[in-house]
Structures are given as C-alpha cells and as structure tokens.
Structure 1
C-alpha cells in the first residue's frame, strides 16, 4: 500500500499542494470567526440528575448568578467623605451599559407601615448625599437596627462592605461584556485613588470575563512560545534553515486548520481547546523530524534524491501514520464521554493531529523535490557526536547491565505505588489560579468577610398548594435556615422567612426586637399588608413558586473543594431529613456550587475511563501491528511505568487528582508510545536483514531510531514545558507533568525496552512478530524506477526526468 502512496504523492505533488493551499485559504478565512468562551462549560451531561435539578430550579426561581460584587474594608467607611464617595461610585456604576441594578448599604431601603392604605412602603435609609456627619451617624444607627442586612451587605466586626451589581444577562452573551467589566474596574480604580481604600471584585460574571481575558492573552503567547521553542531546537539539531522552515510551515497550517474547524463547528476557545494549537505545533514537529532524518539518512547512503524521498515516505510514512493514529486515539477517547467540553477537545485535537500528519507527508517530500539535494553540511546532524555518545551509553548499559536496569525500574515502580496511595482527589472553582492572583485573593477576601460567594440553593417542596405559607412549614424553614447558618462554610440564609421577619419588624414600627417569624395570628395581618405592597415585599416570585407549594433558601458558600463539599452536602441532607420528613417533603440541594463540584467529579471519572480506553485501544493497535501478545505486553510496559512514576510524584508532592492533572495521562500515553512503535518497527526490519539476529537487530534499531527519538523528545519536553508559563495552575501542571512523563518514557524506551528484548530473546520475538496484520514496509522493497517519473526542466528549458541513479536539480 505504501508503495502506491509514495508513488501517488511524488507523482501528483503539485495537485496535492494546490489542494492543501485551497483548504488552508478557506480555513484561514474561517479562523477569525472563532470566538472566545465567556461561560463555564457544562461538565455534566444533560441527563444527569444534578444538572436537571438545577435547570428546574432556574426555571422556577431564576439563576441569581448574574451579579458582580465589589467590596471594601474600611474602618472609616461611615466617615462622610468616604461614604459620599461610595455613593458617588454607585451612581457612576449605574450609568455603565449592562448594569441593571445594584444594592449596597448606601441605597439600602427600610420598610414602613402605611396604616391608611394597609400596605408597606419603602424608603431609602440614606439620602443621595449625606449633608453632615451628625445626620450620617443617625442613619447608620438606623441601619444597624435592621438585621436583614447584617452579613449580607456588611460585616460590622471586620468593617467590610459589599456592593452587589446586577448585570444584563443578554449583554453577558456578547463581546460588550469585556467593556462593561473594564468600565466597572475603572470606576473602582478611581475610588481607590480618591480614598486610598482597596477595592475587591468578584462574582461569577466577573470571574468568567477576567479569566477569559487571561485565556485570550495566553492563547497567542503559547502559540508564539511553541513556535520559538521548535525553531530553536530544530536549528540546533539540523543547522539548516530548510529543515526549520518546512516543519514550521506544516504546523502553522495545522494551527490555521484548527481555528478554521472550530469556527465551522461553532466551538469556542476555552482553557482546554485553547491549548490545541500549541499542542499541534509540539506534536506535529516530530513527524517532520522523522521524515527529514530519514530522507537525509537515505540520501547519504546512496545519493539518489528520488529514491531517498520514496523510501522516506514508504518507511517513515507507515510508522508515522501509526504513531499519529495512537496519539490521535488518545485524544479521541474523550469523544465517548458525555461532557461537551471534552468531546470538543477530543474531536478537534484528534482530527487535526491526523491532518498535520497528512500535511507533513505531502509538504516535506514535495518541497525536497524542488530543493537542491542535501549538502554535507545539511547532514552533519546524522553524525552528531554528542547524541551518538548518549546512544552508545544506552547500548552499553542495555547489553551489560540489564540486571541493574530491572532493579532500578522495580524500585521506581514500588516507590510510584507508594506515592499513588498518597494522591488526593479534589477540585476548586479557582484552584487553577495562583495564590497571588487578584481573582483568587479577592475571592478569599469575600470568603473571609462574607462567608463566600458561590451560590448554594435549597428548594423545599411542601407537596401541597399554599403549603409554604403554613405556620408549621415556615417554622421548619426558619429552624433549617438557622441550623445551616451555623456552618462555618455558609453565609447567613436569605429566604421567605427573612422577608417575613423584616415585614414583622416594619409592622411593629421598625423595632429590632420584633425581627422574628410572625406568629399564626400576626401572619394574617402581615400577609394582608404584603399582598397590597409593591416592589420587593409584594413580589415574592424569587422566593416562592406560583402555586406557593415550593420555596427556596439561598446561601453563599466558600470554595471548599470537592472533598469537603461532599461532606457538607451530606450534612445538609441529613439536617433536612430530620426537619423535613422525606415522605412529606422533597428537599433539593442545588446551585452553581453543587453543579460545579459534581461536574468536576464527573469529569475526573470520565477522564479515568478515557485513559483506560486509550490504553485498550492503543494495545489493540499494537496487536494488529506486531501480531504478538508478548510484544504488546513489552510495548506497554515502558509506557505504563512513566504514567505510574508521574502519579507517584503527584502523590509525594501533594498534586491532587483533578480534571487538569488526570488529563496528563491520556495525552502523555498516546504520545510516548510513538517512540515504541518507531523502535519496534525498525527492530523488525533489522531482524529480516540480520537473518533473525536479535542482539544485533536491537543495537541497529537503537542506533538509527535513537537520534529521532531523542530529537523529538527534546521538542516535546520543551514544547510542553512552555505551558509552565501559564497563570493557570492546571495548565502549569499539565505542562510539567507531561514533560516529566515523556522524559521518563524516552529513557524507558531507550533502556528498558531494548533490555527486555535482549533478555527475553525468542520468548518475546516469535515468528508471529514477523508477520503482522498491518505490514510495515520491508527495507528491501523499492518502487521500480520506471514506475516513477518526477519531471521538470533544466536551466535551458529542456524537459528532464529523474529515473536513474543520478540526482538532477529540478526547476518546475
């Protein structure tokens, strides 16, 4: 098959190049249309119970998460100058496009009883601008008599104050969200400059926008960094601009195709999909290295350019196709998950990995047909003394110290198992951000002073119309809310009970001692006032459904992580079961915090399944390639040990298992097995040439493939290393851990795999290994020269063709 492919590529190289150019132009036209995601991708499948409960809750009560919060800690907050400046800031924020409303102590309202109209009225506690310190002090005393706001808008003990800004949900779905957030920050920065008081920002919309801005900046940075790394490494190895420009051209086409395909499919750039272009650069360059290396090696051996190119395609094309197939398979396993973000990542990555392979197989040989034959200086890298000495060391160790190799790897394996037992699994909303990042610091500010910001919602279904308004049920809700408010990770509750307590206090002329749940007798009077009232008290839709059968209790909570969250949810459900018997009530615990935690757990579980599927799939490919169960086992050993080693390192260093770190294993395994395929493919070719001399074949395979394995591993190691420059902890962990895994895999494939082959001899290398289901090109088989004509014209315009053993310069 590869004889025909080689002949086809070289014979129709112009047409294939034109097709590639056309596709690239189209993809380049589509690429600018790809958008940046500003939403947290849904990690849960739509059929999941937790997801459905949250969607049902949103339909009844609204999302309640489109709020940006601003906070300050100021012991002089109620100094007239500071307070008026805070009030002015609120007025400035209201003018920003996309800001729909806000609530803070400056515009907090009080409720008054209108006896004549039998309804409640509302009035701001503070005027638009305080006229004197005396007046302000009096009004502050009034504020402190209203428990409704304590813990919600201010913390008197720590002198912290919060402003909740409701933003337009429609605007948040457009690019204007960045401008809105930037304007909010500008207003806050001016307040800081005027008062000297630090302003803190948080809230789900704010975190999403600022995080997306970081992703946008890093997206371009990683592409440029990946290109810089591969250019430096390629030039260091080959010392030839041709050997640098061609691979860079191939991977740049891959980047354009990636962005174009994302735009066509409507996928957005997320923290995960944003890594695909630099990943393709890093993963695509090794294809080019193997092709260039083989071309130079072949040409150096016989001096015929056409023969060198066709043999390069036939020998390296097949092996490289299989290595790219295994790498793509590692990513493609994400397609079987129910997580949309993983499916998008898996599809784009796997398709474009194969596209980059096909592009390299066309562009590299085609370009070399038009270029001068490689000069001696272009092929000096084949005699790289430094790399050669390293390979000689590996050969010596595998031949003379196999027992030491086994002992070393057994020790590594045992230590890895010990480390694995120490691994913890957890995930936080902002755990990908460094501890000194402003987003992280501001979130911790609100957690410390207001018990967090992550929404936790509890819905209580009384299972009968008007059941919420029954006195017995209101008492149960109050008891439940009071019990949960004692939890250190939860804020004070906000529910219908709080509103009724506020209304009762107003009914008794604002006396603080009456801030309590109305009695049965008091309810009739208070509800009659509430029913006639307008605004926040009269409209209870955000707390009670239309049938008054179901109500909500809202909390804010700290970002406690998945482990503590499970314990917290368990305690909440036990508390609910004690107060609300399950046979009479249905209590649902939901909200963005619950969905995020369950989504993270689901994602980790899916990634474990994907890793298992990747190992199974790649093992199947190995079985088809080598037709030997023993050889499949031998090929997996040097690639599984690095995974265990990395997992052990995670355990010893305290790096937890979470979505970003478990991703390491599927990616690293799919890539590291490439070296195994190249080595075993060459090993089988040498077996035929050496008349089944296993020892000699191992050494020859190691000497030829060792150069390319080391070159490509250098690219991969430093290429993935660029992700350590990220401001996202998960991306940093991905880069460091994948680089570490690939480095260990390189050593394992260069030392352990040859040692096992030499030790097991005929027990592993059976005759079945010689006759695979998927044939890899036989070293001795060539295309007949009269079957292949690469035509061109010489400098005088005469038609010439390259069909003999002499090289001719071809000018098209």
Structure 2
C-alpha cells in the first residue's frame, strides 16, 4: 500500500514482527494461568493478570519501539524504513495483544489455565542462595568475557558489497565473478572534473590509471556545461579498500591542481555510506541505551537499580560484536542493526524481572528472597519468551538465501540467548552485589505503589 519495494533489509520484517508479537503475550498468559490455578474466576484472573504485568508490559513496548525508531538516524533509506515499519508493527502487535489476547483468554480459559500447580512461591530459593554465595565469581566471569570481547572491537570491518550478500549458488553472482575474472573488473566509477580544470584532464586520467585498484579508464565524456566525466573500471575489493581508493583519487586530483574534481557513482556512494553506517549505528545504540536507562529508572525508581538493570543488556551486544570481529566477519547493513534492535528487545525480560524484584522488596523481603520471588513469577516467562524470540529469529538463519539475512538471524539468536543468561544469572548477581551498598527499597503508600505498577 505504501509503494515500498521488498529489499534484503525489509525482508526481515515478517519474522521479526511475528516473533515479537508472540513473545509479547507470554507474560500475560503465564500471569493469567497462575491466577486461575489459585482459584480465581476468569474475569478476576484476567484483571489481576493485567494488573500484574501492565506496567512492565508498557515499558517493554516503549523500549522495543524505541529500539526500532532509533534506526531512523541511519543515512541508509532501507534501514530507516525498516525501523519505522517495525516500530509501527510493534505498536499494532501491542494493541492486538490487549484486545485479541484478552478475548482469547476469556473464550478458552479452561485450556489456558490448566496445568500443574505453581508449587512453593519460593522454589527458586536455592538458585538465589547459590548466586549469593558465588556472586563475585559470576561477576568476574561476565566482566572477563565482556572485556575480552571489547578488545576485539578494533578489528571490526564494514563491508556492504551488494554482490557478496547473494548466495554462492546465485546465477548473478556466478556470472559476475566469471566476468570479473575475465575482464579484471566490471564495476565502474567516475571522476567528475569541473569545466575550469578541463586542461588538467590528461593529468587526472593518469591519476586514475596509477591507482592499483583501477583496471582501465574506459570513457571520457564532456557535458554542455563544460564538466568532464572520466569513467574507470575497478577490480573487486571490500568497501573499506574502495573507500581508501576514492579518498586517494580525490587527494591526488587536488595534488595535480584540481581540488574540485571528485569521485562519483553508485560504488562510491556505497563505499562511503559504509563508514557512515558505523557512525549511525553508534548513535542509534546510544539513543536506545538512553531510553533503556529511563525505562529501568521508571521501573525501579532507584538510579542504582536502573544502572544495574542496564548492564546485563549491554553485555550481549559487546560479546556478539567482539565475536564477529574475532571471526573476521565484516559488519553489513543487516548485522549493523543488531545493536539497537536487540537492545530494545532483550531489555523486556529485564524490566519484568526488575519490576517484580522491586515489588518483593517493597513487601519487606530480603534481597535473596526478592530475587527468588522474581524468578518464580517471571523466570518461566523469561525463558519461554527468549526461546520464542530465538526460534523466530532462527527462521532467516535456517531458510534465508541472502548471507546478510542469515548473519542477522545468527547474531540475533546469539544475542537473545546471551541476554537470557544475563537476566537469570548476571542480573541477580548484580542485585545481590549492589544490595551491600543500597538500602532496601522503602515501602510506599498504596497509591504510590499503584503508580509504579504495584499489584494490589
């Protein structure tokens, strides 16, 4: 309806939105089932379930939309379009969860609410005690992992070669490589010479021929305005090397007295956009982290807890991009989106855990008991949503034909699984460690509790 064409980036929308939509309903279903098992009537169980999850669910919708909208700072139109459409899809999925999800629970309460009893509300006390005893070791392991991965970031390279995203079996890619082998290169770029520098065209032609990546200068055209376009064929190379080539051509043109001459063409734009890709992604990630900090602060009402809740969501991205660099894999348009998109997604489970932890502390539970309570009420939904998200993002990994699509799926799955470990291991360890300095969250009035999403 909007007239957009399907491209390698927008092709990721369907599995992303389907997965996010399903995962978003998991906490509602689990809360509803728990209330039904406790003997509540259907309408009361649904109302209490929404009262329990409404506040963290609102925060998760906000952070997920923010993660996608942060892609709007990208200079690449396909990435901006993906972010806007994905954000709109998340908002629509949230509305459908409220309406259709609630209706489904009312119509099918027997099957949804059936199952074994929850058992003791503190059956996760043992893991909480283990984390209490080993919190320093847990923090040390995650710290070493993060620092090791971060040291690899200097090796990250960007490559947005559109031919490289095609599978090796692609007829176009095979024909392209065959022609490249026979001719030395098939891609071209131009050197646009201003009319006032026309007498320097011969020198500029030599500048092009002297470049190692230039196969030949194949054409010279003069426009009515007096500008001259020299067309050169270039050998296959990464976008990083091509960026160096075009910068060298611009510099050499200035050196022979034509500072107004510049490299132009599609391959020039692609190569130089790859550098902006890194800058844009860093900006998008910083914006997402800012929203994440505000969301965790809103959820916890304590700056220290907000910082503690943010750290586990940064670790997966640090590790994944570090692994990408260590394996020598370049950052592409699709994989560059992982940071901000995944930050907006994986923080959802952190918020559910953090809100339940704060509620338990307001109920005068110790830190360890509050962690056990949070794990009991949010642990299963966190695991299930992580598995649903992993399965959804595994679809492009398993069935995608484009290399960048498969890489996006692989990095997304790795990020989600690392975030699961961070939420259930690192986050409790950080809460236990921070508890040595932070005083217990003070009880609040009932009105204040309701304002923070407190259960009645």
* DSSP-derived class of the 2:337 partner: helix
Give the Cα separation in 2 of the matches to 1:656 and 1:646. Answer: 13
**Distance change (3 Å), C-alpha of 1:762 and 1:399:** closer
Aligned residue number for residue 492 of structure 1: 216
Calculate the TM-score normalised by the size of structure 2.
0.91
1:653 aligns with 2:330: no
Give the Cα separation in 2 of the matches to 1:486 and 1:336. Answer: 38
**Distance change (3 Å), C-alpha of 1:631 and 1:372:** closer
* Matched-pair contact (CA < 8 Å) for 2:342–2:412: yes
Aligned residue number for residue 642 of structure 1: 316
Question: Greater helix share, 1 or 2?
Answer: 2
Aligned residue number for residue 354 of structure 2: 680
* DSSP-derived class of the 2:142 partner: helix
* Matched-pair contact (CA < 8 Å) for 2:71–2:337: no
- Select which of 220, 230, 234 maps to 1:557: 234
* Matched-pair contact (CA < 8 Å) for 1:454–1:557: yes
Aligned residue number for residue 298 of structure 2: 624
Give the Cα separation in 2 of the matches to 1:392 and 1:715. Answer: 26
Aligned residue number for residue 41 of structure 2: 304
**Distance change (3 Å), C-alpha of 1:457 and 1:642:** same
Q: 1:371-404: per-residue Cα shift (whole Å, max 9, x none)?
A: 353487x324957xxxx99x67743531332222
Give the Cα separation in 1 of the matches to 2:391 and 2:112. Answer: 29
1:591-740 alignment, distance < 5 Å: 591-689=265-363, 691-725=364-398, 726-740=400-414
* Matched-pair contact (CA < 8 Å) for 1:318–1:777: yes
Aligned residue number for residue 293 of structure 1: 30
Give the Cα separation in 1 of the matches to 2:73 and 2:115. Answer: 45
Give the Cα separation in 2 of the matches to 1:414 and 1:348. Answer: 35
* Matched-pair contact (CA < 8 Å) for 1:454–1:592: no
* DSSP-derived class of the 1:457 partner: strand
Shift of 1:679: 0.4
Give the Cα separation in 2 of the matches to 1:484 and 1:702. Answer: 64
* DSSP-derived class of the 1:302 partner: coil
**Mind listing any 5+ residue stretches in structure 1 that lack a counterpart?**
1-262, 497-542, 782-812
Shift of 1:436: 4.5
Aligned residue number for residue 92 of structure 2: 355
Give the Cα separation in 1 of the matches to 2:283 and 2:337. Answer: 11
Count of aligned pairs: 452
1:775 aligns with 2:451: yes
Aligned residue number for residue 572 of structure 1: 249
1:374-385 alignment, distance < 5 Å: 374=111, 378-380=114-116
**Distance change (3 Å), C-alpha of 1:586 and 1:637:** closer
* DSSP-derived class of the 1:552 partner: strand
Give the Cα separation in 1 of the matches to 2:382 and 2:165. Answer: 32
Give the Cα separation in 1 of the matches to 2:337 and 2:5. Answer: 20
Q: 1:136-192: per-residue Cα shift (whole Å, max 9, x none)?
A: xxxxxxxxxxxxxxxxxxxxxxxxxxxxxxxxxxxxxxxxxxxxxxxxxxxxxxxxx
Give the Cα separation in 2 of the matches to 1:718 and 1:551. Answer: 55
Shift of 1:447: 2.2
Shift of 1:571: 2.6
Shift of 1:624: 2.4
* Matched-pair contact (CA < 8 Å) for 2:396–2:409: yes
Give the Cα separation in 1 of the matches to 2:388 and 2:228. Answer: 58
**Higher Rg of the two aligned structures:** 1
1:291-690 alignment, distance < 5 Å: 291-374=28-111, 378-380=114-116, 394-463=127-196, 468=198, 473=199, 476-496=200-220, 543-547=221-225, 549-579=226-256, 581-582=257-258, 586-689=260-363
**Distance change (3 Å), C-alpha of 1:757 and 1:643:** same
Cα RMSD for the two superposed structures: 2.6
* Matched-pair contact (CA < 8 Å) for 1:683–1:698: yes
Shift of 1:705: 0.7
**Mind listing any 5+ residue stretches in structure 2 that lack a counterpart?**
none
Q: 1:740-784: per-residue Cα shift (whole Å, max 9, x none)?
A: 1111111111011112212322633553796889934322x2xxx
Give the Cα separation in 2 of the matches to 1:362 and 1:308. Answer: 16
Shift of 1:444: 2.1
**Distance change (3 Å), C-alpha of 1:574 and 1:598:** closer
**Distance change (3 Å), C-alpha of 1:773 and 1:292:** closer
* Matched-pair contact (CA < 8 Å) for 2:54–2:453: no
* Matched-pair contact (CA < 8 Å) for 2:164–2:403: yes
Shift of 1:434: 3.5
